Amino acid sequence: MLNLRLALRSLANRRLTTILTIASIALSVALLVGVETVRRGIRESFAGTIRGTDLIVGARDGNQQLLLSSIFGLGAPAGTITWETYQRWASHGAVAWTIPLSLGDSYFGYRVVGTTEAFFEHYRFRNDGRPTLAAGDLFEDDRDVVVGSEVAARRRLTLGDEISLTHGLRGTGIMDHDEHPFHVVGILAPTFTPIDRSLYVTLEGVEAMHEDFIGAAPPDPALVSSGPLLSSFLVGTQNRFESLKLQREMNTDTSEPLTAILPGVALTDLWHTIGYAEDGARIITMAVVVVGLLGMLVALYSTLQERRREMAILRSLGAGPRRIAALLVLESGVLATLGAITGLVVTYLVLFVGRGLAERHFGIFIPITPPGKLEWVYVGGVIAAGMLVGLVPAWRAYRNALQDGLVIRI
């Protein structure tokens, strides 16, 4: 207890150095814990983009490309699915509901999705959220369009506005469908998912705006079918235990080559593919923590010269070398503890203030939860490392003789 009081008084006498050292440790811990919290939030947002869907089905393709094109609006679909094939699987006994998706058009780089009202009824994302309207109504005919919140905000769209869509995706659009304009009938509430960056029209609307485009070239027999062509469709099963069996049936069907994927498995695989960025961020933050601890070591060690007389007086009052060494280790531990606690407080203040900005601008949902096991491990590790760093100046002070601080050096 006496050592703790001496350590606190000693640190108080060197306020500026103490404050700067605590700030250095605090920033290091805040960065370390903050990166881990943001990483977890990004992962949850990524995994929470789609919930409650048992299968994603598209033309024969790679799993990740199907996931990215259908759910995240990235890349182009590998092919199309005929309406007959879609209906055949939609009527399968194991299927409870389906959501057809027709992709391939855009609006100033934003993805246009042809679908049905089933999308708004069955699609779920993080925490069982569902697409809801902030204003207006859902589409009813082939000239209605419902726009995501980001599209409406960035393009300054309001209900009743007339827009023309583009054939093709960002950077590859080849013509505008001016002959078939759409009217904004609904604006979706923010979801902080790719829904915010999409526009939704009916399947009939997709067909109608391509009629003149198809008519300009020799007709393709594949386009003259009894219904629209689809890029993919989402499936909800009657019983989730049937998902694997249904997936196997779809993947081995010979009538039309299909790829059926489990969203959870595909999301996990994709996250592992891009997970190297996590490792890079952790390495950088660990390096920052090491720099902060080295800064504390330099601060403590450099003050030993100034504190020679203080140590000598303590020795003359009966404090042995071990007590002097323990005092310095304790000071180092106090600095590391105060820095770690301050860093935690700073992290949660930044999260509280910046969470809304991250959601609005980056679509990242960062939950504010109590520090988890890993965060406490980080904090404990920083405190333990701080005390270990204190052993260096403690060893130097332990070796100093009593007369070392009583001799005036010129």
Which one has a higher pLDDT value, 185 or 104?
185
Co-location of 193 and 248 in the same domain: yes
Which one has a higher pLDDT value, 39 or 207?
207
Three-class secondary structure of residue 68 per DSSP: helix
Co-location of 216 and 135 in the same domain: yes
Residue ranges making up the domain that contains 295 = 2-46+276-405
- Judge whether 410 lies within some domain: no
Co-location of 185 and 257 in the same domain: yes
Would the pTM of this model clear 0.95, i.e. be above it? no
pLDDT for residue 372: 77
Co-location of 304 and 248 in the same domain: no
pLDDT for residue 3: 64
| AA identity, residue 98 | T
Co-location of 23 and 63 in the same domain: no
Alpha helices in 48-183 (DSSP H): 63-70, 83-90, 118-122, 149-155
Co-location of 34 and 91 in the same domain: no
Q: Specify the long-range contacts of residues 356-361, CB closer than 8 Å, at least 24 apart.
A: 358/38, 358/41, 359/190, 359/192, 360/190, 360/192
Q: How far is 31 from 26, CA to CA, in rounded Å?
A: 8
- Judge whether 227 lies within some domain: yes
Co-location of 35 and 60 in the same domain: no
| AA identity, residue 275 | G
Co-location of 209 and 319 in the same domain: no
Report the number of distinct structural domains present in the chain.
2
- Judge whether 269 lies within some domain: no
Q: Is the pLDDT of residue 403 over 60?
A: no
Co-location of 281 and 176 in the same domain: no
- Judge whether 253 lies within some domain: yes
DSSP 344: H
Per-residue b/e over 329-340, b at no fewer than 16 CB within 10 Å?
bbbbbbbbbbbb
DSSP 307: T
pLDDT for residue 212: 57
pLDDT grade for 406, boundaries at 50, 70 and 90: very low
Angle between helices 308-316 and 321-362 (to 10 degrees): 130
Angle between helices 321-362 and 276-306 (to 10 degrees): 140
Co-location of 210 and 356 in the same domain: no
pLDDT for residue 162: 94
pLDDT for residue 302: 67
Give Cα 27 to chain centroid, integer Å: 22
pLDDT (tens digit per residue) in 207-238: 888 775 554 444 444 444 457 889 999 999 99
Residues 125 and 49 sit within 8 Å (Cβ to Cβ): yes
pLDDT for residue 401: 45
Three-class secondary structure of residue 186 per DSSP: strand
Q: Is the pLDDT of residue 246 over 90?
A: yes
Co-location of 96 and 29 in the same domain: no
Q: 214, 230, 261 — which closes off a domain?
A: 261
Co-location of 39 and 75 in the same domain: no
Q: What percent of the chain has pLDDT over 70?
A: 81
Q: 238, 261, 284 — which closes off a domain?
A: 261
- Judge whether 333 lies within some domain: yes
pLDDT (tens digit per residue) in 141-182: 999 999 999 999 999 999 999 999 988 776 555 677 778 899
Q: Is the pLDDT of residue 363 over 90?
A: no
Q: Which of 44, 65, 38 is nearest to 266 (CA)?
A: 65
pLDDT (tens digit per residue) in 176-205: 777 889 999 999 999 888 999 999 999 999
Alpha helices in 202-320 (DSSP H): 203-215, 243-251, 263-273, 276-306, 308-316
pLDDT grade for 324, boundaries at 50, 70 and 90: confident
- Judge whether 271 lies within some domain: no
pLDDT grade for 18, boundaries at 50, 70 and 90: confident
Contacts of 329 (CB under 8 A, 6+ apart): 387, 390, 391, 394
- Judge whether 148 lies within some domain: yes
Point out the least confidently predicted range of 50-64, 252-266, 362-376.
362-376
pLDDT (tens digit per residue) in 265-322: 888 888 777 666 667 777 877 787 787 777 777 766 666 655 666 666 666 666 666 7
- Judge whether 310 lies within some domain: yes
Q: 226, 261, 296 — which closes off a domain?
A: 261
**Mean pLDDT computed over every residue of the chain:** 81
Residues 147 and 184 sit within 8 Å (Cβ to Cβ): yes
Residues 393 and 298 sit within 8 Å (Cβ to Cβ): no
